[in-house]
Amino acid sequence: MRYAETGYNLEIDLSRGNIERVETDPKLTELHLGGLGTNAKILWDRVPPETEPFSPDNLLIFATGLLVGTPAVGCNRTIVSTFSPQTLLMAYSMMGGFWAPELKYAGYDKVIFRGKSPNLVYLWINNDKVEIRDASHLQGKGADETAELIRQELKEPNAQVAAIGLAGENRVYMASIEQGRSSASRLGIGAVMGDKGLKAIAVRGTKDINIARPAEYMELCNDVLKYIQVRSEKPVPGVMPILAGLGSPAEMKLVDEEWHTQNFMWGNARERKKDYWNKEIEEKWKETQENVRTRLISCYNCPMKCGALISVPGISTYMMKCFSKLTYTMAAFSDLDFGFRIAQRATEYGVDAFSTPQVMAFGLELYEAGILTDQDMAGMPSDNEGRFYWLLDRIARREGIGDILANGTYWAAQQIGKGAEAYAHNNIKKHEQLPLKLGMLNPVYFLMYSTGEKINITQIEGQFPQAPFPTMEEREDFVKDWIHVPDEKFKQYLLDWELRGERSNPYYPTVDMSVDIVDWQEKMHYIDDALGMCAGLSSFPLKPPYHIHNYPAFISSATGIDMDEAGLTQVYKRNRTLLRAINVRRGLRRADEKPPEDHWKKRFPELEAQLLDAYYKFKGWDNQGIPTKESLHELGLDYVSEDFEQRGIIKNEQG
């Protein structure tokens, strides 16, 4: 009997139209848990590093995490893994919503696609019955519209559907996979889905999942619910509102946007408006938001209500959550009403709400600088909002200049030349980042940002505060009930952290402390991504219900695997290192791990080099970020070092 997981994957060969149900190896669950961990193992084993993202040999994996579909609150993530057309590295975007639990209830842990379908198709998983169906009538349809049409066609209103829009069909590098109640947006995974000729996956499942020790497990789940209740009544004082509570930032509840509008950058991450927010704007934005927000909604089995249904008169209802509320507004120097309107069209096209607005603003900045000409922009309206709609349409259709912009700022700048590279100034690993430009380098944030491989907003966040508390009283108050720390030393790190003076950024936390903090934060992210847990209840906010001390009990009682903190740490290290190895094999090196030049005004090259050196050493990697033979051996990854040796990666680069 398999517990927590189903023990079966679906293997779909889209070239041949072949469908197989394959039993998985329980040993791999012990080594990697599931979700991201086992996805990485499959990609390592089956996709050689020479494989192009748009090759039929690239795999596209839709995975559930190990605890998805069990009563663990907030455990509902789908982890989509493939190789990104944007970074050429491994992508593992995630979505919440309802899709992953439904797949588990249908009896599968993952759906693994290979090959390419000659015609547009969709997959219909109805418990044991799985079929590839024609989707030619859905060509060009919006992502949400496609989901609705499929549910009607199947006469199955409860089917969960993950679909791409026109952007995915056209292999736009910012294409997302939409699911009605969430989306997996980063790194162009929707483009890989479109390249495979796969419009959607619909799933309906009605089976049960086995739990090894159900009574014990339910008790743990109830403790989490109680803790959420307590934390919801007690926001963390002294931090900005979106970080004071739990969940993905409560953007759909909040109307006070002073912090985002004055600290995040407008345009193509270029201009900060320090005095933007005032009473008049606050009133206007509040009215806009309350008029269009039909109701707040949650993902499967979660009380947090991070998302909202948005109904703008004249256009169909869609779901929005988090910072995408502001990305289009701020890129276009417009207002919230515009943001809510254009986001609906962008959702139907299926594009990433972080990158796409930056790319459009980048196009306009190139035009204003004379790098793009009237000829390039022929037919573009003269009004600001009209230009954004026009650019969005061109990008999704890959028409004219949109065909170049559809490749994201990094690749578009290379294609355009004429100095366009200077305008693509917000990338790490060839991908647009958070539209932030800050003053003083923060060492923990520097490491999280530069070395993170998820390339997602959460990559800079963790269970350690991002800034010091101004007074000792606040610090002492914070550490009092800080049960999450893996070691008591973290409390002292925080108590000693000052806003100014010797014990302040960039030299405090010290290099070694920064590495410790980053390791803790990364550990939580990697465990979440293997379990399918929402980061909003674990690795993202301060004082969340899940942490390193209660996770082993969750895993043990759900799966029957004997797991303690040391064992879980070893699994995290293995997954982290394997992911690094996959990207090393595809060429990732130290030179790629640098934040945008202008991300901080004050930079410290020597300190930054020391931080990277110490981080790599702590991980057991050499100074290029390549895992060493010894550390690979210690993690049971000798097959990686053998491969590295054959390819000359270890022999040549580690002497």
Angle at 41 between CA 40 and CA 45, to 5 degrees: 115
* Distance of closest approach, residue 322 Cβ to ligand SF4, in angstroms: 8
Position 632 contacts ligand SF4 (CB under 6 A): no
From the list 384-392, 426-434, 463-471, 529-537, the region that binds ligand SF4 by CB under 6 A is: 529-537
CA distance 269 to 246: 27
Position 299 contacts ligand SF4 (CB under 6 A): yes
* Distance of closest approach, residue 340 Cβ to ligand SF4, in angstroms: 19
Question: Which C-beta is closer to ligand SF4: that of 245 or that of 408?
Answer: 245
Position 93 contacts ligand SF4 (CB under 6 A): no
CA distance 422 to 499: 33
Position 252 contacts ligand SF4 (CB under 6 A): no
* Distance of closest approach, residue 365 Cβ to ligand SF4, in angstroms: 33
From the list 142-150, 297-305, 339-347, 434-442, the region that binds ligand SF4 by CB under 6 A is: 297-305
Position 247 contacts ligand SF4 (CB under 6 A): yes
Contact residue for ligand SF4 among 167, 202, 534, 635 (CB under 6 A): 534
Position 298 contacts ligand SF4 (CB under 6 A): yes
Contact residue for ligand SF4 among 248, 268, 458, 521 (CB under 6 A): 248
Length of the chain as a residue count: 655
Contact residue for ligand SF4 among 66, 100, 147, 304 (CB under 6 A): 304
Rounded (10°) angle between helices 551-559 and 511-531: 30
From the list 132-140, 225-233, 267-275, 532-540, the region that binds ligand SF4 by CB under 6 A is: 532-540
Sheet of 110-114, strand order:
18-23, 8-13, 110-114, 60-64, 78-83, 90-95
Q: Which residues contact 620 (CB under 8 A, 6 or more apart)?
A: 577, 627, 628, 630, 631, 632, 634
Contact residue for ligand SF4 among 4, 537, 614, 637 (CB under 6 A): 537
Q: Furthest-apart CA pair in the chain: how many Å?
A: 68
The phi-psi region of residue 305 (left if phi > 0; otherwise alpha if psi is between -120 and 50; otherwise beta) is left
Q: Which of residues 329-358 bind ligand SF4 (CB under 6 A)?
A: none
Position 306 contacts ligand SF4 (CB under 6 A): yes
Question: Which C-beta is closer to ligand SF4: that of 97 or that of 107?
Answer: 97
Amino acid in the structure at residue 62? F
If we measure between CA atoms, which residue out of 637, 651, 646, 648 comes closest to residue 41? 637
Q: SS3 of 243, please?
A: helix
Position 76 contacts ligand SF4 (CB under 6 A): yes
Question: Which C-beta is closer to ligand SF4: that of 181 or that of 573?
Answer: 181
Contact residue for ligand SF4 among 37, 69, 74, 107 (CB under 6 A): 74
CA distance 586 to 90: 9
Q: Which secondary-structure segment (H or E) carries 153? A: helix 143-154
Q: Which of residues 446-475 bind ligand SF4 (CB under 6 A)?
A: none
**β-pair type (198-204, 160-163):** antiparallel
Question: Which C-beta is closer to ligand SF4: that of 74 or that of 627?
Answer: 74
CA distance 471 to 477: 10
Whether a cis peptide bond, with omega within 30° of 0, leads into 506 is yes
From the list 194-202, 294-302, 468-476, 641-649, the region that binds ligand SF4 by CB under 6 A is: 294-302
Which residues are at the interface with ligand SF4 (CB under 6 A)? 74, 76, 96, 247-248, 298-299, 302, 304, 306, 534, 536-537
